[in-house]
Structure 1
């Protein structure tokens, strides 16, 4: 007789594990089934090269909701996160560079080297982001409301312009409103180009920027950290937490089909033929895979099936993992290890390069000039690499999933060679110090990590696929037309990234349904927009000048940090 559980979760990515944790803590008997031999999905640590561990896909932690870290006691189960002093460094081909530091006074002085006006504008921009976050954050940890309800929240806060800037506008238009330096705009543009099918001028990319800007680290908005042992430290802690509360996690157990009887889910069948029963099944796969591949043919009505076939999964990226025996000696820097090796490194970041990358992406081609992001986590977490060696991860955004006239398998090595040639312009010494490399193409993201179209967000993050329309109006509340079958992955509200709200929200909906509480929750309570002291100070020209002078003072860092906390 088939084994049975109260709930089955398909996929041990972070959202699936979060859902499993909340269900297990509610006393449900939960089974998590993972096709691969490691937990985490795209939030994982893998030994891609013998002796070295890598965050193979996601490598920065800044979106994971603090409520989830607290609820699931992830630190108790081994999660260890930390920050570097330098957050980002952008390196330009003329040998100049610019740091974004954890401490705002250091960042302001860095920006001043390129534009004093932009350094002052940076404070105002930061307060705008903070206000955007205050309005949007209450919508994250709950089932989605309609897009009109979200807009109404901005209207009631007297902040329609924020909605226009951070939801509707392009990244280029957003940044042009605040900054003049092309160097500064080049750096910030990167955060609006993550896994998009578009360029800086594409309307809606402002939300991709805004989505990342609402992240926080230890209560500080817009900051991020690293995870000791790589990003798998997050999902390994989640796995231990789930197992401690009675959940079972099985690896190498790919699900072939969700079992459906009439209009109800009743379990799953594995690729091995084994059947496992449960009245509740949650899919952490992307919406297209969940609705078109995992359900028996004919289960989904034609209109919804067509909507899922039209669901926009465009916008991909690639990773190149390098094992090196010497740190990059970047142009414009002296010899030896420095903060440039501990920060997220970005090379070739210019608005024009991002626009040209979009033109190539649209044609199914590779650009001549790559914008490259890099992380060398082994400089701050030496256990990731053998002694005397380092793990260096490169990322390239704005890539087509389908290449004109060729395939990613055919172009894999030529693509990696071209990216490295770009890299050598910034770090010439690396030409002779790369020991091994592993390339993860957009096709690999679909084939090996289960990301349809190679989209790390499980679908485009434009307004037509957000809030009550993610992934489609009929599926926006995590429920599907098949009773007992739910979606919990990044293709649901509130979107992609290692945020975890999706898994949290889906689990709450399941528990409500099991308890007979099937009515959708009301929209979040919206209080009148509270203007804190920083907002009041910065509302006048004299106040902005005063705020700028205060923020530049290292002696006042503790005071400034109080005002930059996410809830302040």
Structure 2
């Protein structure tokens, strides 16, 4: 057994853990990051799952990475690069009906108008309301978690309680159904409320899940998402390289078995090999149940708190099927060869009723006969991921049981279920049957066993009413600190929750620094009044004017400027630290 001392130790080299390590290092702390897997990145990782090609194993779309963190940690100096395709969404039903959603608002409005003039008119108002919801959420992302009462008070102060009710108390079905009538647009949008939830479209509260996933921004442009060059691992590799540059030590294949304590405070960690490290600060990027009940001695915590932590709702899982193909999907009624349908987020069979049926199966612990399938072919826009002539196709399926009630569970059902999903895919692109070279399947059980995600939940804890903000994951742990002095949580199970954004890691680092009187975590901010343009668009009397502006190509550049969000500059760190541009 060997020992070495560090100022802080981070458990888990997922993106939040690496963010925490980066901020601590920039305040002069010696930091050790311990990762159980053989590669950094956690669920935000790029891996060669099939020889010769690379995939984003779990998370693959970057719509939430906080630009403040990118600026603070100078990630572009370390190779981080994002880009956004011109066509971001493509929805298709089995009868060949399809819909494109474009990066430019005006293009999307004109596309929706082909299917429904009423929906096209409503889309501008819808976008304004969604952006206004984003205005409320954004200041709280990098702050101490507010209470629900604080949040409601801000909506009430701005006389927007109807917006609060829409995004906090409604179901996804009611939220979207209040604006749109076309099944393609309703199905596509409903997906974002079904991400890693144990719920269906009619479940109250899923409207918040929808808003959490769809009110992000890319390079200051609201409602736009992007890919990370080289796959999602390009983000975590940049974080790791930045951390190493500032002196952080990162060890992979190093599984933490226990957090060591004495007299109610942290003293170090022990690996499953018996190796120990001493420290006065440990930040765990694992989910809260695993972090507390799995790594601490049971005697360290009050039995009542242990029981409340054991009852944290971690239901809601998903799966990935990664395919290596030698021909792009020729979707029904569309020409063969590379087209806009291959560039962005493809949604196949995403109807509200399909999601409802999947929810009924999820509750019973069984597999549904059909699922909405999301597909991404990042190699179509990033040729570094696959050899010439080949492509990487990732399929995603939500609303899956973490544990199957059928005999043998996921181990027995894994390949037959993947066969079913691939067969469903070929209903939309029949040519693919003869062009799939290999596949790699990741089930909810794989997420739990390989990525240490309890229940296969990528958010570490369900993102519903009582597990949000100052209740996330339970009130006693909501401020990132635990009852054990020096032991903190920095993963997605803390505020503001799941998604690849790094906010939980940022906030945990600042809570640690605050406890050491070195920095301060910002309090929740007051929300400004809505922009004039949004007030017009959210007013039904002004909706037609906004729609007429949106559908005219001459106003495209104006709309782009209106939808931009001011980007922050980097945080000034202590001047004694090395701020060299040399990497």
Partner residue, 2:252: 251
Query: Does the Cα contact within 8 Å between 1:197 and 1:316 map onto a contact in 2?
Result: yes
Distance 1:346 1:430 in 2: 16
1:233 aligns with 2:259: no
Partner residue, 1:146: 147
Distance 1:539 1:194 in 2: 27
| Structural RMSD (CA) | 1.4
Aligned pair count? 565
Partner residue, 2:434: 432
Distance 1:56 1:25 in 2: 30
Partner residue, 2:221: 220
Give, in angstroms, the shift of residue 159 of structure 1. 1.1
Partner residue, 2:558: 559
Give, in angstroms, the shift of residue 522 of structure 1. 4.1
- Secondary structure of the residue aligned to 1:117 is helix
Partner residue, 2:60: 59
Give, in angstroms, the shift of residue 543 of structure 1. 3.1
Distance 2:298 2:542 in 1: 63
Distance 2:427 2:214 in 1: 30
Encode CA deviations 1:415-438: one digit per residue, 9 max, x unaligned.
100111111100111111111100
1:515 to 514, 517, 526: 517
Distance 1:126 1:517 in 2: 37
1:475 aligns with 2:477: yes
Distance 2:539 2:486 in 1: 55
Alignment of 1:399-438 (within 5 A): 399-406=400-407, 407-438=409-440
Q: Residues 246, 539 of structure 1: CA spacing in aligned structure 2 closer, same or farther, 3 A cutoff?
A: closer
1:449 aligns with 2:451: yes
Give, in angstroms, the shift of residue 512 of structure 1. 0.7
Partner residue, 2:578: none
Partner residue, 2:88: 87
Encode CA deviations 1:82-120: one digit per residue, 9 max, x unaligned.
111100100111101101100111101111111111111
Give, in angstroms, the shift of residue 517 of structure 1. 7.7
Partner residue, 2:168: 167
Encode CA deviations 1:239-298: one digit per residue, 9 max, x unaligned.
011111111111111101001111001110011100001100000000010011011232
Unaligned 5+ segments in structure 1 are none
Distance 1:268 1:427 in 2: 51
Distance 1:29 1:126 in 2: 45
Distance 2:434 2:299 in 1: 56
Give, in angstroms, the shift of residue 379 of structure 1. 0.8
Query: Does the Cα contact within 8 Å between 1:97 and 1:332 map onto a contact in 2?
Result: no
Encode CA deviations 1:42-94: one digit per residue, 9 max, x unaligned.
00001111111110000000101110011011111110111111001001111
Distance 1:65 1:350 in 2: 31
Partner residue, 1:105: 106
Q: After TM superposition, where is structure 1 displaced by more than 6 Å over at least 4 residues in a row?
A: none
Give, in angstroms, the shift of residue 536 of structure 1. 4.3
Give, in angstroms, the shift of residue 567 of structure 1. 4.8
Q: Residues 558, 473 of structure 1: CA spacing in aligned structure 2 closer, same or farther, 3 A cutoff?
A: same
- Secondary structure of the residue aligned to 2:77 is coil
Query: Does the Cα contact within 8 Å between 1:130 and 1:566 map onto a contact in 2?
Result: no
Query: Does the Cα contact within 8 Å between 2:90 and 2:345 map onto a contact in 1?
Result: yes
Distance 1:390 1:151 in 2: 47
TM-score by length of 2: 0.95
Unaligned 5+ segments in structure 2 are 568-583
Give, in angstroms, the shift of residue 337 of structure 1. 1.1
Partner residue, 1:378: 379
- Secondary structure of the residue aligned to 1:260 is strand
Distance 1:114 1:240 in 2: 47
Partner residue, 1:339: 340
